[in-house]
Amino acid sequence: MVDEDRLLDCLEAIRLNLPDAFNEAVDVVRQKESLLLQAEEYAQDIIEAAQQRAAEILDEMGIIRQAELEASHIRASVQQECEQIQQATLSEIEQMRQKSHQDIEQLRKMAMEECEDIQDGADEYADGVLSNIEQQLNDMLRVIRNGRQRLQNEPTKVTPPQGTANPPKKKA
């Protein structure tokens, strides 16, 4: 037998703890998006700065080419940083998901162990009650046997009712 209230309390605790883990994961994703936006803005600022610089020295073709190469290099560097940040964020989210899964599994195991303990306790209690009833029934059976034995060992004296000639016969 399972204590329904206790099981419901365990399930409620699991339900209340899960949103925290998911909220943390959502926060990590939001932080990742914020970092990506900042990186993109940073890259855009660098690109705009490079374009402005290139516009100032349009007459010098070598400098313009150098600026384009530099902007391309910076763009590639920023893109690489963004990818690294994204990978780190995804890794953190996966770790949090695995931890949440482990926590849920641990809570489930604890709930199952507690249910088994409750079941074992209920079985022991039922066995004790049945043993007690068995003892009482044995005591009653002994009293009944003793009473019957006394009745069979003692002759019964029955006085015939008035007006009858034959006394009732004793049953075996």
22 falls within a domain: yes
* pLDDT at residue 172 in the model: 47
Structure token digits, residue 138? 């044995």
Domain with 103 in it: 4-121
Residue 81's alpha-carbon distances to 8, 36, 39, 41, 136, in angstroms, are: 47, 9, 8, 13, 82
Do the beta carbons of residue 40 and residue 130 sit within 8 Å?
no
Q: Is residue 88 part of a domain?
A: yes
Q: How far apart are the first and last CA of the chain?
A: 50
> Is residue 112 a part of any domain in this protein?
yes
Domain contains 129? no
Decide if 53 is inside a domain.
Answer: yes
Is 171 part of any domain?
Answer: no
pTM of structure: 0.36
Burial degree of 169 (CB within 10 A; 0-12, 13-18, 19+): exposed
Inside any domain, residue 169:
no
Q: Would you say 47 and 71 are in contact if contact means Cβ atoms under 8 Å apart?
A: yes
Residuewise pLDDT in 10s, the chain (172 residues): 778 888 888 888 877 777 777 778 778 888 888 888 888 898 899 899 888 877 776 666 676 677 788 889 989 998 898 889 889 888 888 888 888 888 888 888 888 888 888 998 999 999 999 999 999 999 999 999 999 999 998 766 556 566 555 555 555 4
Please, are residues 17 and 101 in contact by the beta-carbon 8 Å criterion?
A: no
3-state secondary structure 19-79: HHHHHHHHHHHHHHHHHHHHHHHHHHHHHHHHHHHHHHCCCCHHHHHHHHHHHHHHHHHHH
In a domain, 80, yes or no: yes
69: its two tokens = 């190469």
Residue 29: what pLDDT?
A: 82
Question: How many structural domains does the chain have?
Answer: 1
